[in-house]
Structure 1
């Protein structure tokens, strides 16, 4: 099993439509249910890809800017100042 991949977060930050398999470690935490496909379901994945080409805005999701590296770093700094 691999750790969390950044490609979904990076794509969301760029406003790219995202479809992912509903594998462990991340996709369901970042994407709404209609952007997820069961692992191994090739037919549904192909269907969603076709839909994304026709209606890209349906598969774009907002990106939480609090997840940007600069904001995460600031949260660590603030935490250390308060609890350090």
Structure 2
């Protein structure tokens, strides 16, 4: 079900849940707002587009991209006031 820009803003403006609690919901709503498929709709096997993709960090070590689409993007969500450098 599509979501309007006003609904999207109202839903997340005052959200206080942490990153883990909101990231996937936020991205799914963003997909609906933009009229594009969610990771599960586009790639049920998660081979090219998925949540929680294991990755190697450019600074060393491993981690997870909150949302990843091969050849397009990797999203890393952070809670309000959190440092993206620590991702």
TM-score (norm 1): 0.29
Return the structure number with greater helix share.
1
Highest relative contact order (Cα 8 Å, sep 6+), 1 or 2? Answer: 1
**Greater strand share, 1 or 2?**
2
TM-score, normalization: structure 2? 0.29
Could you say which structure has the larger radius of gyration? 1
